[in-house]
């Protein structure tokens, strides 16, 4: 992913919607781009900004996240911990990606294939409902936790 290209796309989208990509907003978007494989909370974004010697407040981070979410450039996600986390939509802006979440260690893996195209068509046809997005989360044990569990089961025999 070219972060400069993504920053320009975001700037253009914001401009088209009547918003400016201010210095503060640009810094927040840069943190999201730099950590695009993670799902950062507003507080984690704020901490990253502090590490980079930015001194604007947490409220600015929340306002920017709200704007980006309203513009569908960012998706607010809540996992098992109940904390709102944010994911920048950089590839296909039509659909959000899916997640595998380990209930043991909390590891999150993203699935970028769209697994629900047929389900969307069925919903549209059968229920006369225009789907704009969908989300799918699988909960279970990752490979590492499965191995640890198997080793633990063996040692207790």
Torsion-angle region of 61 (φ positive above 0: left; ψ -120 to 50: alpha; else: beta) = alpha
Structure tokens at 32: 């999201």
In angstroms, the CA 83 to CA 64 distance is: 17
Residue 142 assigned to a binding site: yes
Is 13 annotated to bind ligand? no
- Taking the CA atoms of residue 28, residue 34, residue 39 and residue 42 in that order, the dihedral angle to the nearest 10 degrees is -20
Q: Which residue has the tokens 């709102």?
A: 84
Residues 6+ apart with CB under 8 A from 126: none
Residue ranges for the binding site? Answer: 102, 105, 134, 142, 145
Residue ranges for the binding site for Fe cation? Answer: 134
Residue ranges for the binding site for Zn(2+)? Answer: 102, 105, 142, 145
């Amino acid at each position: 992913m070219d972060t400069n290209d993504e920053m320009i796309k975001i700037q253009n989208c914001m401009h088209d919607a009547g918003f400016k990509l201010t210095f503060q907003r640009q810094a927040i978007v840069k943190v999201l781009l730099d950590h695009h494989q993670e799902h950062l909370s507003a507080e984690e974004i704020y901490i990253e900004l502090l590490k980079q010697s930015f001194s604007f407040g947490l409220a600015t981070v929340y306002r920017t996240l709200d704007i980006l979410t309203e513009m569908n450039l960012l998706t607010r996600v809540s996992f098992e911990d109940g904390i709102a986390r944010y994911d920048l939509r950089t590839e296909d802006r039509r659909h959000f990606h899916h997640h595998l979440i380990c209930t043991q260690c909390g590891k999150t893996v993203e699935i970028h294939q769209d697994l629900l195209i047929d389900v969307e068509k069925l919903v549209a046809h059968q229920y006369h409902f225009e789907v704009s997005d969908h989300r799918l989360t699988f909960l279970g044990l990752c490979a590492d936790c499965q191995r640890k569990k198997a080793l633990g089961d063996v040692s207790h025999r």
